[in-house]
């Protein structure tokens, strides 16, 4: 435990407050995440999970708060953070193929006036293979199912070769086997020292998937290792309801 204090944290948030037109979405949230962790962000609908990710990326303004990643401000480290939003507000009829969409992931690491070359294209194809979408490389992006589209955006995030990953509900609409494959990819990233934050809905899987949890409902309800946070009495506070299935699980454990 003491060692943690001396280790540089991957993400540090102090006193974060975010509101939309005067309505609070996030109140007084502080936490830190050490590098090489796979972290789940859970909480009910409207808890501010997506808002938290957007505020960390400074895609929306915050009222107060300090945010550091790898000891730097977000503007310095932006290019090393990959983000997959909950809903991409893109035009699905855009003239772009699946492989070219994944290739966009390499853009942040290319200089201005620089074009993606063979190396970048090979990387994009590898990432597409990893999410099991290699056969669809030359399809137009709108000609995929919702789950397939989600996997393509996952591949794009991988192609960015970032240090920190923000994934907002990456498993929604994804079938069981692809979900497993993606979870394994995320665990590989973590084992490679990357920090991965995942907004997640399905409480049943939360303790299999993650090392740590951030439990949110406007305020921070709990943060830390899964065993400490994933308890029915703490979850009940966030969701305002009882969790009988959890009690059974705890008995089994």
Partner 1 sequence: MSFIDAVFQYGFLQKALLTSTMVGILCGVIGCFIILRGMALMGDAISHAVLPGVAISYALGINFFLGAVLTGVLTAIGIGFVSQNSRIKNDISIGIMFTAAFALGIVLITFMKSSTDLYHILFGNVLAVRPSDMWITLGIGMFILSTIYLFYKELLISSFDSTMSAAYGLPIKWIHYFLMTLLTMVTVASLQTVGIVLVVAMLITPAATAYLLTERLWIMLYLAAGFGVISSVIGLYFSFTYNLPSGATIVLVSTFLFIVTFAFSPKHGLLWRTLKSKRKKKALVH
Ligand X SMILES: Nc1ncnc2c1ncn2[C@@H]1O[C@H](COP(=O)(O)OP(=O)(O)OP(=O)(O)O)[C@@H](O)[C@H]1O
- Lookup: tokens for 48: 């501010």
Q: Which option in Mg ion, partner 1, ligand X, none does residue 151 bind, with CB closer than 5 to 8 A by kind? A: none
**Under the criterion CB under 6 A, does residue 46 sit at the interface with ligand X?**
yes
Residue 88, binding choice from partner 1, ligand X, Mg ion, none, Cβ under 5 to 8 Å by partner class: partner 1
Q: Which residue has the tokens 């192609």?
A: 159
Nearest alpha carbon to residue 98 among 66, 67, 143: 143
Q: How far is the CB of 227 from ligand X (least distance, A)?
A: 23
Site for ligand X in 8-37 (CB under 6 A): 20, 25
Q: Which of residues 83-122 bind partner 1 (CB under 8 A)?
A: 83, 85, 88-91, 94-97, 100-101, 104, 107-108, 110, 112-116
CB of 135 to ligand X, least distance (A): 31
List, edge to edge, every strand of the sheet that includes 81-84: 81-84, 164-168, 195-199, 38-42, 212-217, 219-225
User: Which run of H or of E encompasses 75?
Assistant: helix 74-77
Compute how many residues bind ligand X; rule: CB under 6 A.
11
The minimum distance between CB 36 and partner 1, in angstroms, equals 22
Residue 120 vs 179, nearer CB to ligand X:
179
Give the whole-angstrom CA distance, residue 196 versus residue 37: 6
- Looking at residues 174 to 193 of the shown chain, list those that interact with ligand X (rule: CB under 6 A): none
- Pair of tokens at residue 35: 């590098």
Cα–Cα dist 239/217, whole Å: 8
Q: Cβ closer to ligand X: 17 or 140?
A: 17
Q: In the set 37, 49, 130, 156, which binds ligand X (CB under 6 A)?
A: 49
Q: How far is 199 from 206, CA to CA, in rounded Å? A: 10
Q: Are 41 and 216 in contact (CB under 8 A)?
A: yes
| Nearer residue to ligand X within complex by CB, 34 or 86 | 86
DSSP bridge pairs for 198: 40, 167
- The residue among 182, 168, 160 whose CA lies nearest residue 87 is 168
Interface segment toward ligand X; rule CB under 6 A; list 43-51, 135-143, 176-184, 236-244 = 43-51
Residues that bind partner 1 (CB under 8 A): 57, 59, 75, 78-79, 81, 83, 85, 88-91, 94-97, 100-101, 104, 107-108, 110, 112-116, 140, 156, 160
């Amino acid at each position: 435990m003491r060692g943690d204090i001396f280790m540089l944290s991957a993400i540090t948030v102090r006193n974060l407050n975010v509101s939309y037109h005067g309505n609070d979405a996030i109140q007084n949230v502080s936490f830190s995440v050490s590098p090489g962790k796979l972290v789940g962000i859970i909480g009910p609908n409207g808890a501010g999970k997506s808002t938290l990710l957007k505020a960390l990326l400074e895609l929306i303004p915050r009222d107060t708060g300090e945010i550091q990643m790898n000891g730097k401000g977000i503007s310095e480290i932006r290019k090393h953070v990959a983000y997959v939003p909950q809903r991409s507000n893109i035009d699905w009829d855009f003239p772009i193929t699946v492989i070219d969409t994944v290739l966009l992931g390499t853009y942040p690491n290319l200089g201005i006036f620089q074009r993606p070359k063979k190396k970048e294209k090979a990387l994009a194809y590898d990432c597409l293979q990893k999410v099991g979408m290699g056969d669809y490389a030359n399809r137009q992006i709108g000609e995929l199912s919702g789950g397939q589209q989600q996997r393509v955006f996952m591949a794009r995030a991988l192609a960015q070769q970032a240090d920190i990953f923000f994934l907002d509900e990456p498993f929604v609409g994804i079938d069981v086997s692809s979900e497993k494959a993606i979870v394994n990819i995320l665990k590989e990233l973590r084992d490679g020292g990357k920090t991965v934050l995942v907004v997640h809905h399905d409480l049943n899987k939360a303790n299999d998937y993650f090392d740590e949890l951030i439990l949110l409902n406007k305020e921070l309800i709990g943060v830390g290792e899964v065993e400490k946070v994933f308890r029915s009495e703490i979850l009940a506070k966030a969701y305002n309801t009882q969790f009988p299935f959890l009690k059974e699980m705890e008995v089994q454990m």
